Chain A
């Protein structure tokens, strides 16, 4: 079980309000990702749930039990930190066993659980090593192992892949998703990387300045962003925003079109544009263009598109995929 409910949870440091007031329900077994730019309060929110920070107001409950004033150890949660936070003086086996030792488990039980966790995480051959003798990915696996053995109500991940290189990040992303399928335990994952959010989450919580901008499945947020912030944050490359006459033509103050929803032609189209930088990735081509009367746009064309700097191209947005926003930046029905 691992249903977590936040009711009017707030946090201030002195006069600075980091989280004004948040209501959120995380269902048992869900993989929820808190995403947002640096300083949006996502890590603070995770630390409030963990009990590493005291709330300034509101109530946090886990499986119906009010844990607002409970110590971190009593909340039955496990946390994986960005810096791994392994105990450098202990071997891998002792690191993983530490929470079980603190819980007063028998040695036989500890040995069995450590062996199980090591097997799941491919750490069996490294159990006698110290953290300093491991690679970044292995260290992160030890941190996850330490979290698994406790069989917590929920796992909390605080930007766990930020210190890894791009290739390893991709592998670990898959491993964590696989682990979630295996364990079916609630996971809350904090990241500023929207790709991680999109690929791993059942539910994404987009945060901005301590407020929840939108909650939904990755594709919900991609297809129906509620406002300009979410529209701009979710999706890579980010959505193009166009104001002025081109937007008015579609009955909106601002229109948004994702780079992958713009068709490119050499002969005809709605907007005429001059290519600035063309990034040829093989599977895709990213064009950074200057559209006449509109401004800079990013276009994602599938496959190899033979255009170069200075070429003129014609662009046509997919009308069905246009997003319309009013003057307040709120999405309006098309």
Chain B
């Protein structure tokens, strides 16, 4: 009897979980479906069966070079991730292994900056970018995205580092390792799973960031988020083209996410279960 109840409950839970997952994924799925419709089909009403035309993709590529935006997205997201790790690894090391009374406060303060609406600093950031000639540059955007995601990167690495026994680092110190060697030869290799998932998450966050990337770029440094936005104006909305552009923009990160999902889940739940 107990087993029957458990099986029934399991079935209900599974159906519910799939339903929720489908609900979350549905907008992406619908965008992909719409991208294979004609503009007339797209505005005709709700339909899950497209005609299968590729005209939207051809039009999108003809209007704007996808590749240029793709390269910008890769450079900005990977670049900002590498920069963030260079800053965050030593920062998380010191917070995890040499904490002071204020460490927790600093961590909370860093996180609190994520709670501020980005638009609150839009004007000063824009002016700084303008005065320092960083508008529409990959460098400016890379640094900007690094700073935006730094609190999350530090937090994640801090959580992973806290799981590493301090005695291993003390052993390295006794073995004659300098602080640099301790981080390079001992801490980083041990934390590779954590660093890898932090890296993946940061690339995804940077890839999808739209507020700053659209506002601080025009043509030269514009990434795929700006590529999508360029199809929503000024002649009106072209749903099929917009969907094709969105599909092209999210495809690389969707594929990367699919292949690294095990790593991502392991990384995100690292400190949660022990």
Contact = CB atoms under 8 A, between A and B. Distances in A.
Interface of A: 50, 52, 71-73, 77-79, 81-83, 85-89, 98-99, 102-103, 143, 146, 150
B173 A73 contact: yes
Leading 4 A-B pairs by shortest Cβ distance: A85-B171, A99-B175, A102-B176, A85-B167
Given A85-B168, A102-B175, A102-B177, 9 more contacts: A52-B174, A73-B175, A73-B176, A81-B167, A82-B167, A83-B165, A87-B168, A102-B178, A146-B175
B170 A87 contact: no
Given A88-B190, A102-B181, A79 B176 contact: no
A52 B170 contact: yes
A72 B165 contact: no
Contact of A79 (B168, B171, B190): B171
**Contact residue range for chain B?**
10 to 19
B173 A71 contact: yes
18 contacts: A72-B170, A73-B175, A73-B177, A79-B171, A83-B167, A86-B168, A87-B189, A87-B190, A88-B168, A89-B192, A99-B175, A99-B176, A102-B175, A102-B177, A102-B178, A103-B176, A146-B175, A150-B175
A81 B173 contact: no
A72 B173 contact: yes
Contacts of B174: 50, 52, 72-73, 77-79
Contacts of B177: 73, 98, 102
Contact of A81 (B170, B181, B192): B170
A98 B165 CA distance: 18
Contacts of A88: 168, 190
Contacts of A143: 171
Contacts of B167: 81-83, 85
Nearest to B173: A72
Q: Which of A71, A82, A85, A103 has the most CB of B within 10 A?
A: A85
Contacts of B172: 87, 98
Nearest to B170: A52
A24 B165 CA distance: 31
A131 to B, nearest CB: 10
A89 B189 contact: yes
